Amino acid sequence: MIFGNSAFLSQAMLPAALQHLLSRPELSLAALNAQADGRYELEGSNLFYMISTCETKPAAEQRTEFHQQYLDIQMVLKGVEGMAVGPQLTDPSQYQAEKPDLYFTRDLTAENQMNLKAGDFVVFYPGEVHRPLCCVGAPATVRKVVFKVDKTWLAQSTWL
């Protein structure tokens, strides 16, 4: 897991390909805020992002998730989002995907809470558990973007 803020990308120590991705002018906080909610492809199914406006809920009402093929880069565009995070699962193969590359666990492995505000992002590698869209105080509206980065694409990326 890597935590950072889009205004201070160089301090996040991201892999070069992710640094290049998040540094693109069309993916700046202002540019993303100007886009409508929806799915946007950068390199087909290897690299895409989804912008959505959601309601946060108490952490107990949210499900803990992880992925096996994609990295998640979750960034808040507007509002405040609580996110419970935890370590990488020791045996992710015991779980069945409920949607393509979306696995849920009821294990209490995502119990460390972090709060994200506009521009804050978290990179979750495959197998790292997270419980997004938790409210900070009362439920509220949050606008966010989730970048999906295929781990094979990242390993083979020539973006420098």
Residues 92-137 pLDDT 10s = 778 888 899 998 887 666 678 999 999 999 999 998 999 999 999 9
What is the share, in percent, of the chain residues with pLDDT greater than 70?
96
Candidates 2.60.120.370, 3.20.20.70, 3.30.420.40, 3.40.190.10; CATH matching 2-152: 2.60.120.370
Domain boundaries, the chain: 2-152
Query: Which one has a higher pLDDT value, 73 or 103?
Result: 73
Residue 91 confidence (pLDDT): 75
Amino acid letter for position 15: P
For residues 6 and 28, is the Cβ–Cβ distance under 8 A?
yes
Residue 129, CB-side half-sphere exposure with 13 Å CA sphere: 23
Residue 99, CB-side half-sphere exposure with 13 Å CA sphere: 5
